[in-house]
Amino acid sequence: MKIYHTLEDFTKLNYGIVTSGTFDGVHLGHQKIINRLKEIAKKNEGETVVITFWPHPRLILRPDEPFMQLLNTFEEKAELLRQQGIDHLIRIPFTKEFSQISSQEFISKILVETIGTKKLVIGYDHRFGKNREGSFEQLSINGPTYGFEVEEIPRQDVDNMGVSSTRIRKALGEGDIDTANHFLGRPYSLSGRVIKGDKLGRVLGFPTANIDLDSHDKLVPAEGIYAVGVIHEKKNYGGMLYIGTRPTVDGTKRSIEVNIFNFDKEIYGETLHVSFLKLLRADSKFEDLESLKNQLQIDKESALRALKNLSI
């Protein structure tokens, strides 16, 4: 897959099959659109193109609203689209200036003149252009004039799946990992660099790697203890991860730390990739460190069972 960070870098295609959107999460609904792109490309010997926007348009258009954390960094999104078999990914920097482009200009300048769109596939609620004035109806009207066809994924097809980025964010915020992973079609994940902590976990017999996230725009699931998969230097491990403020020791700052099973290495400054598999319990305050230690042993046993059931 080729990635383009400006439209100027793109070479016009003979037969482009295109979709556009934020694709936050690259969830099952997005994958339905992507699979349709690939079907059309195979039939017509064309090339698939995903147009996405960064930063997320809502962060630019509604800066006064509460900050919306994202399911993917751009790098994660790009890797997921590569795994889905997309040929070209165009990253359009979303600015206030770009938001003023009319839907007509988006069609003529970007879809037709720059990309060479012959078939456009969109979701049922897709809007584009200034004030979201562009619609499926407008695209259908303009398509023949510019020499491309438009296909809309029916509302029923998407609604029957019950999936949306908003619903996935809500599930993660409630610790409902099962629902989030189901709609994503894979485990939700975080990546970050290992930083030094106060080594309390080591004192308790459960040494942890404290994680500083790669992106602080990324959504962190609800506080609690999770069974997780961990990747370090391309090797897979099981583990249990804690998200919370450590109330037993009167902590105030949220920490993200993982106890990696069958692992004994100093990895400060190195990167871990963590996949959420199951919520074991919510965070809670214990009477003393011995009670916490006993609970951590129970948590480890629960995590090992979960990992075994999931064949991790």
pLDDT at 159: 60
Q: Of 228, 242, 253, 232, whose CA–CA distance to 312 is shortest? A: 228
Check residue 192 and give its pLDDT: 96
Average pLDDT of the chain, as a whole number: 91
pLDDT, position 229: 97
* Span 288-298, average pLDDT: 94
Contact 53, 13 (CB under 8 A): no
- Mean pLDDT for 82-100 is 93
Domain at 2-163, CATH from 3.40.50.1820, 3.40.50.1980, 3.40.50.620, 3.40.50.300: 3.40.50.620
- As a whole number, mean pLDDT of residues 41-60 equals 92
How far CA 208 is from CA of 34, 201, 283, 284, in Å, comes to: 39, 6, 16, 18
pLDDT digits (tens, 9 = 90+) for 8-21: 999 999 999 999 98
In this predicted model, what pLDDT tens digit does every residue of 120-141 receive, in sequence order?
998 767 777 777 776 778 888 8
**Candidates 3.40.50.1240, 2.40.30.30, 1.10.287.110, 3.50.30.30; CATH matching 188-309:** 2.40.30.30
Q: Half-sphere exposure of 108 toward its Cβ, with a 13 Å CA cutoff?
A: 7
pLDDT of residue 135: 76
Q: How confident is the model at residue 297, as a pLDDT?
A: 96
Domain segments of the chain as ranges? 2-163, 188-309
The reported pLDDT for the residue numbered 202 is 84
Question: Do 2-163 and 188-309 fold alike per CATH?
Answer: no
Residue 104 has pLDDT above 70, yes or no: yes
Check: CB of residue 27 under 8 Å from CB of residue 163.
yes
Percent of the chain with pLDDT over 70: 96
Which own/partner contact pairs does 173-177 have at CB distance under 8 Å and 24+ positions apart?
Answer: 173/219, 173/221, 173/222, 174/222, 175/221, 175/222, 175/223, 175/224, 175/279, 175/282, 176/279, 177/221, 177/226, 177/276, 177/277, 177/278, 177/279
pLDDT tens readout for residues 188-209: 999 999 999 887 888 888 999 9
> Which of 128-142, 164-178, 298-312 has the least mean pLDDT?
128-142
Higher pLDDT among residues 142 and 266, named by residue:
266
pLDDT confidence of residue 41: 96
| Structure confidence at residue 161 (pLDDT) | 64
Stretch 267-284: mean pLDDT: 96
What type of residue is 78?
A
pLDDT exceeds cutoff 80 at 62? yes
- pLDDT cut 90: percent of the chain above it: 66
pLDDT the model gives residue 127: 73
Q: What is the pLDDT of residues 237-262, one digit of tens each?
A: 999 999 999 998 877 899 999 999 99
**pTM reported for the whole predicted model:** 0.90
Decide which of 307 and 66 is more confident.
307
